[in-house]
C-alpha cells in the first residue's frame, strides 16, 4: 500500500498552468460548439446540467460511516470491465458505498438501473473548481480509474488531499509507445499521482515505466474483462426467446457485432454472396450505433437484395422467413454471440476493433478487421488459430464457406477461443485484494 504524498515538481506547476490556462478553456469551447452538431455530445452536456443536485440527493442516503469507493469509467466497455470488481466488493462488504461516474452518455444511460452502485453520476468537466467540488462532495476513501479515462485536475486534487487512487486494467498498445515517450514530460506529472497501477500483463510493466516513476508500484494482475465475459456468457436469459424459437442453428449462423459502416461495406456483400449459395445460412447483425437511420439503411440493403430481414423489435410473432436478424436495441450483444459459430467484431476498419473476448467466451470463432493493434486479445486469438484478420470481402466469404462446408473446423476454433478466455480468469479477486489495502476496516474485505 502506498499512501504517502510525494512533493510535486516545478514541471507539475508548468503543466498545471498550461492545462488550466489554455487546454481546458479550448476544450470547453470545442465541446460546446460540437454539441450544436452532435446529439450524443449535447446529451452529455444536458445530462450534466443538474449533476451536483442529483449527486447530493443520492449521497444523502449513504451512511457517513460507509467506506466510499469512487470508480470512474469512460463508457460501456469500461463499465462492463468493472462489474465483476463491484460484485466482489459488495459480496465482501455489502455496506461499502460505490460511487460510479461516467464520461460518456451511452455508458451513463445504460447504468441507470444498475443496482450494485449506490451513486451513479456523470463526471463534471475537469476544471480546477469542478474537481474540487466533486471530490469534496463524494469524500472517497479510494478512487479507481478504469483503463484510460484520466483527468489531470481530478488526479491532482486527490493527490493533494492524500486520497489514494489506483489505475485498473491498465495497458498501453505497443503502437503507442513512441507517443508515450514523446509525451513523457507531460504525462509523468499526472501519472505519478496514482498510488498504484495494476496492469494487464508483464509486458505492460515495462511500458508504464516510461510514464510512471515508481516501478515497484506497478503490478501485473490480469484483466477483469475475462472474468466479466465468462460471467455474461452464462446470462442467456435475456435472449431465451431467440434460443427457444427454433430458428437459429448455431453451426449455420454468423453474428456481426459492434459494426460500423466501414465494416458493413466489407461484410454485407460477402453475406449476400454466401446466402446465394447456402440456403440455411443465417446472419445476425448488431450495429454499434442503433439509430433509426443506420438500422433502416441495413434493413433496406438486404431487402433490396430480396433477403428477408427482421428487426429484433418485430421478431416475436413474426412469421416471415428469417435469414437476417437486425438488432435494433443495445445491451444484448454479449449474449447474442451464443447463437453463432462464427462472429465478426466491428471496428477493425475504423479506429480499432471492439471486444473480441465476448464471442470467444461463447466458444465462437472470431473475425475482425486489419486495425486490431489496440487489442492484445485479437493478436493472441490469431496466434492460437482462433481468430482471423479480414482485409476484404473475399476473406469473409471464405470463412462463411468454411462454416457451411467444414463446420467441425470452425467449432474447433471456437473451443480454442473459449479455452483461451477460461485460462485468463481470476483478475477480479487479485484486483479486489489490491483495492482493499487502501480501505478502512480492511479485514472486512478479506
Whether residue 359 is predicted with pLDDT greater than 70 in this model: the reply is yes
Judge if 161 and 179 occupy the same domain: yes
Q: Are 194 and 213 in contact (CB under 8 A)?
A: no
Q: Compute the average pLDDT of residues 324-341.
A: 92
Same domain flag for 164 and 275 = no
Q: Is the pLDDT of residue 1 over 70?
A: no
Distance between CA atoms of residues 445 and 433, nearest Å: 8
Same domain, 213 and 125: yes
CATH number at residue 143: 3.40.50.11720
d(CA 75, CA 374): 17
pLDDT value for 324: 96
Predicted confidence (pLDDT) per residue in 226-269, tens digit: 999 998 888 888 899 999 988 999 999 999 999 999 999 999 99
Residue 73 CA to residue 102 CA, distance in Å, equals 5
Q: Identify whether residues 208 and 291 lie together within a single domain.
A: no
Residue 120 lies inside a defined structural domain of this protein = yes
Any domain includes 5: no
101 phi, psi to nearest 5 deg? -115, 150
Q: Tell me, yes or no, whether 186 and 247 share the same domain.
A: no
pLDDT band at 8, cuts 50/70/90? low
Q: What CATH number does the domain containing 254 carry?
A: 3.40.50.2000
CA dihedral for 282, 287, 293, 297, sign (positive or negative): negative
What's residue 321's pLDDT?
Answer: 80
User: Rounded mean pLDDT of 310-324?
Assistant: 86
Residues 352 and 332 in one domain: yes
Within-domain flag for 400: yes
The model's pLDDT over 70-120, given as tens digits with 9 standing for 90+, comes to 999 999 889 999 999 999 999 998 889 999 999 999 889 888 889 999 999
pLDDT at 442 over 70: no
pLDDT at 440: 82
Cα dihedral across residues 169, 173, 174, 177: positive or negative: negative
| Unique residue bearing C-alpha cell 455474461 | 232
Note the pLDDT of residue 102. Answer: 96
* 74/194 same-domain check: yes
* pLDDT (mean) for 34-39: 91
**Which pLDDT score is estimated for 66?**
82
Cα–Cα distance between 208 and 164 in angstroms, integer? 19
Q: What pLDDT is recorded for position 5? A: 56
Domain membership of residue 128 (yes or no) is yes
Give 1-40 as a DSSP string: -----PPP-HHHHHHHHHIIIIIHHHHHHHHHHHTTT-HH
Q: What pLDDT score does 4 carry?
A: 54
Q: Pairing between strand 387-389 and 342-345?
A: unpaired
* pLDDT tens track for 187-232: 999 999 999 999 999 999 999 999 999 999 999 999 999 999 998 8
Tell me the C-alpha distance between 361 and 393, whole Å.
26
- How many domains, the chain? 2
Predicted pLDDT of residue 112: 86
**Does a structural domain hold residue 159?**
yes
In order of 55, 117, 121, 439, the CA distances from 89 in angstroms are: 22, 11, 19, 11
Which pLDDT score, from 0 to 100, does residue 330 have? 82
How does residue 6 score in pLDDT terms, banded at 50, 70 and 90? Answer: low
User: Predicted confidence band at 350 (pLDDT cuts at 50, 70, 90)?
Assistant: very high
pLDDT tens readout for residues 49-78? 999 999 999 999 888 778 999 999 999 889
Task: Indicate whether 289 and 174 sit together in one domain.
Answer: no
Question: Could you tell me if residue 414 is inside a domain?
Answer: yes
CA distance linking residue 258 with residue 254, whole number of Å: 14
pLDDT at 441 over 80: no
Residue bearing the bigger pLDDT, 321 or 375: 375
**Is the domain of 91 the same as that of 110?**
yes
Q: What is the average pLDDT value for the chain, to the nearest integer?
A: 92
Query: Given this model, what pLDDT does residue 7 score?
Result: 64
Are 215 and 355 within one domain? no
For residue 2, is pLDDT > 80? no
The pTM assigned to this predicted structure is: 0.83
User: Is a pLDDT exceeding 60 seen at residue 336?
Assistant: yes
Q: Is residue 431 part of a domain?
A: yes
Do 90 and 65 have their domain in common?
Answer: yes
Q: Provide the residue range defining the domain that includes 352.
A: 232-422
Q: Are 142 and 69 in contact (CB under 8 A)?
A: yes
Residues 191 and 302 placed together within one structural domain of the fold: no
Q: What are phi and psi of 353, to 5 degrees?
A: -65, 150
Mean pLDDT, residues 302-315? 92
| Structural domain includes residue 384 | yes
Model confidence at 304: pLDDT above 90: yes
Name the band, by pLDDT with cuts 50, 70 and 90, for residue 10. Answer: confident
pLDDT at 446: 52
Amino acid at each position: 500500500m502506498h499512501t504517502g504524498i510525494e512533493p510535486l515538481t516545478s514541471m507539475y506547476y508548468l503543466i498545471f498552468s498550461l492545462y488550466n490556462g489554455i487546454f481546458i478553456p479550448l476544450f470547453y469551447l470545442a465541446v460546446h460548439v460540437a454539441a450544436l452538431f452532435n446529439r450524443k455530445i449535447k446529451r452529455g452536456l444536458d445530462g450534466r446540467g443538474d449533476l451536483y443536485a442529483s449527486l447530493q440527493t443520492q449521497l444523502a442516503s449513504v451512511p457517513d460511516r460507509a467506506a466510499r469507493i469512487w470508480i470512474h469509467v469512460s463508457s460501456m466497455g469500461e463499465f462492463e470491465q468493472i462489474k465483476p470488481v463491484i460484485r466482489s466488493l459488495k459480496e465482501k462488504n455489502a455496506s461499502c458505498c460505490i460511487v460510479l461516474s461516467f464520461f460518456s452518455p451511452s455508458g451513463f444511460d445504460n447504468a441507470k438501473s444498475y443496482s450494485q452502485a449506490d451513486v451513479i453520476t456523470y463526471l463534471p468537466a475537469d476544471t480546477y473548481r469542478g474537481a474540487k467540488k466533486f471530490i469534496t462532495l463524494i469524500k472517497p476513501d479510494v478512487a479507481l480509474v478504469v483503463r484510460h479515462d484520466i483527468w489531470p485536475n481530478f488526479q491532482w486534487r486527490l493527490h493533494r488531499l492524500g486520497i489514494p487512487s489506483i489505475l485498473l486494467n491498465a495497458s498501453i498498445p505497443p503502437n503507442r509507445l513512441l507517443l508515450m515517450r514523446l509525451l513523457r514530460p507531460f504525462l509523468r506529472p499526472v501519472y505519478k499521482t496514482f498510488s498504484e497501477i495494476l496492469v494487464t500483463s508483464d509486458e505492460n510493466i515495462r511500458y508504464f515505466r516510461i510514464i510512471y516513476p515508481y516501478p515497484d508500484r506497478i503490478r501485473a494482475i490480469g484483466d477483469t474483462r475475462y472474468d466479466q465475459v465468462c460471467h455474461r456468457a452464462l446470462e442467456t436469459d435475456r435472449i431465451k426467446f431467440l434460443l427457444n424459437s427454433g430458428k437459429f442453428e448455431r453451426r449455420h449462423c454468423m453474428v456481426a457485432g459492434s459494426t460500423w459502416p466501414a465494416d458493413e461495406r466489407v461484410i454485407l456483400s460477402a453475406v449476400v454472396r454466401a446466402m446465394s449459395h447456402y440456403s440455411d445460412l443465417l446472419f445476425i447483425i448488431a450495429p454499434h450505433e442503433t439509430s433509426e437511420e443506420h438500422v433502416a439503411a441495413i434493413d433496406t440493403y438486404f431487402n433490396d437484395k430480396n433477403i428477408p430481414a427482421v428487426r429484433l423489435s418485430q421478431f416475436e410473432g413474426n412469421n416471415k422467413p428469417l435469414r437476417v436478424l437486425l438488432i435494433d436495441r443495445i445491451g444484448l450483444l454479449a449474449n447474442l454471440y451464443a447463437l453463432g459459430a462464427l462472429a465478426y467484431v466491428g471496428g477493425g476498419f475504423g479506429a480499432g476493433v471492439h471486444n473480441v473476448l465476448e464471442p470467444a467466451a461463447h466458444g465462437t470463432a472470431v473475425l475482425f478487421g486489419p486495425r486490431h493493434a489496440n487489442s492484445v486479445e485479437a493478436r493472441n486469438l490469431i496466434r492460437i488459430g482462433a481468430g482471423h484478420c479480414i482485409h476484404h470481402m473475399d476473406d469473409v466469404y471464405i470463412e462463411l464457406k468454411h462454416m457451411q462446408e467444414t463446420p467441425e473446423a470452425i467449432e474447433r476454433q471456437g473451443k480454442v477461443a473459449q479455452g483461451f478466455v477460461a485460462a485468463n480468469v481470476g483478475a477480479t479477486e487479485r484486483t479486489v485484494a489490491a483495492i482493499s489495502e487502501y480501505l478502512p476496516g480492511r479485514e472486512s474485505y478479506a
